[in-house]
Amino acid sequence: MGRHVIAGAGQVGKHLAAHLLAQGHEVTVITRSGNGPAGVEVIAADLTDRDRLTQLVKGADALHNCAGPAYTRWAQDWPSLAAALLAAAQDTGAVLVTAGNLYAYGPVTGPMTEDLPLAATGTKGRVRARMWTDALAAHQVGRARVTEIRSSDYFGPGASDQTPVGTRFVPSLLAGKRTSFLGDPDQPHSWTYLPDVAAAMAIAATDERAWGRAWHTPTNPALSARALAEQLCALAAAPAPRLNRPPAPILLALELTNPVIRELKETRYQFDRPFIVDSSAFENTFGLTATPLHAALQATISAA
């Protein structure tokens, strides 16, 4: 078994720590606050401090980037954070495994595959694209070993209120309340189950076939938010879902008063048209498939 260092203890970091522990690995979690999941070594440190981070990563087989700067500060905070993580990987030889997303592709017209150009026009998408191109450049000249696991919007136990089907969406539905969805609830959309992200990152850290390219997390076939809500409520024997999309004037008012919702304007295209992930490359290469939707939803209900 190996030693894995996880930067960040948010919704992905916690699942990854638990998954690696269950496999028998030694796990260290680094957070600014020093808070982290039970059962692992937790260290308080500034993740942008290259020297300190390098010291903590020495001897590790893999460094997992599960950090999560405030959504409103990606442009300010990600560059120095990503640079420090990449430098620590270069200095120690640990494989850098980044929990990525799909922003870097920008708007697309069909299913997303990993060979699409990184054509984002928005700030957040360009930030994520630059993180990957910098890491890949280091890999290509032999300074580091890197990979990125890209996921769609998360759901499942521990999903935060920043994901569209997280801690606000699910409890509201299960309570039979009218529930807002900031997009077209009838457009096909891919949803990635958090434990599947952890499983994919664990594989990518230890299988050299994963290094030097990005991969999509195994994800179930796309399902509209309404269809997802209907299946969730049926499994929980809850009232039929009542989803509503805020009218344009209300959405505008929310954008004016809520910084996070204002930031979501950049990625609203993801919810106004089909947003579909093709994860067949990872599935065919490593033999990992998405957790069946029924089981994933049941676990989500149990954790709500």
Q: Does residue 253 register a pLDDT over 90?
A: no
Place of tokens 């990987």: 89
Residue 16 maps to a domain:
yes
Domain contains 303 = no
Verify that 124 and 257 share a domain, yes or no.
no
How many structural domains comprise the chain?
A: 2
Query: In angstroms, rounded to a whole number, what is the distance separating the alpha carbons of residues 125 and 131?
Result: 10
- Do residue 73 and residue 202 come from a single domain? yes
168 and 76 inside one domain: no
A 10 A CB-CB count for 21 gives 16
pLDDT at 241: 95
Residues 209 and 284 in one domain: yes
Q: Do 111 and 251 belong together in one domain?
A: no
Q: Are residues 69 and 180 in the same domain?
A: no
Highest mean pLDDT: which range of 32-46, 135-149, 158-172 = 135-149
Question: Has residue 95 got a pLDDT over 90?
Answer: yes
Same domain, 115 and 235: no
| 3-class secondary structure, 41 | strand
Whole-number pLDDT of residue 38: 87
User: What's the domain range around 206?
Assistant: 3-154+192-218+278-290
Q: Report yes or no: 3 and 28 within 8 Å, Cβ to Cβ.
A: yes
DSSP letter at 190? -
Residues 16 and 50 reside in one and the same domain: yes
State phi, psi for 99 to the nearest 5 degrees. Answer: -80, 105
- 100 part of a folded domain: yes
In a domain? residue 297: no
The pLDDT > 70 percentage for the chain reads 100
Q: Which amino acid is at 27?
A: V
pLDDT bucket at 40, cuts 50 / 70 / 90: very high
Residue 62 lies in a domain: yes
State the pLDDT confidence band at 198, using cuts at 50, 70 and 90.
very high
CB neighbour burial string for 152-173, b if at least 16 within 10 angstroms, e if fewer = bbbbbbbbeebbbbbbbbbebb
CA-based torsion, 285, 267, 138, 12: positive or negative:
negative
Identify the CATH number of the domain in which residue 124 sits.
3.40.50.720
Q: Are residues 92 and 133 in the same domain?
A: yes
128 and 258 assigned to the same domain: no
Q: Is residue 228 part of a domain?
A: yes
Same domain, 127 and 92: yes
Per mean pLDDT, which range of 38-47, 122-131, 174-183, 258-267 is the poorest? 258-267
Query: Is residue 3 within 8 Å of 25, Cβ to Cβ?
Result: yes
Q: How does residue 251 score in pLDDT terms, banded at 50, 70 and 90? A: confident
How many other CB atoms are there within 10 angstroms of residue 71's CB atom? Answer: 12
Question: What pTM does this model have?
Answer: 0.96
Mean pLDDT of 82-101: 98
- Do the domain assignments include residue 304? no
By percentage, how much of the chain surpasses pLDDT 90?
Answer: 84
Same domain, 29 and 162: no
Q: Give 205-232 pLDDT, tens digit per residue.
A: 999 999 999 999 999 999 999 999 999 9
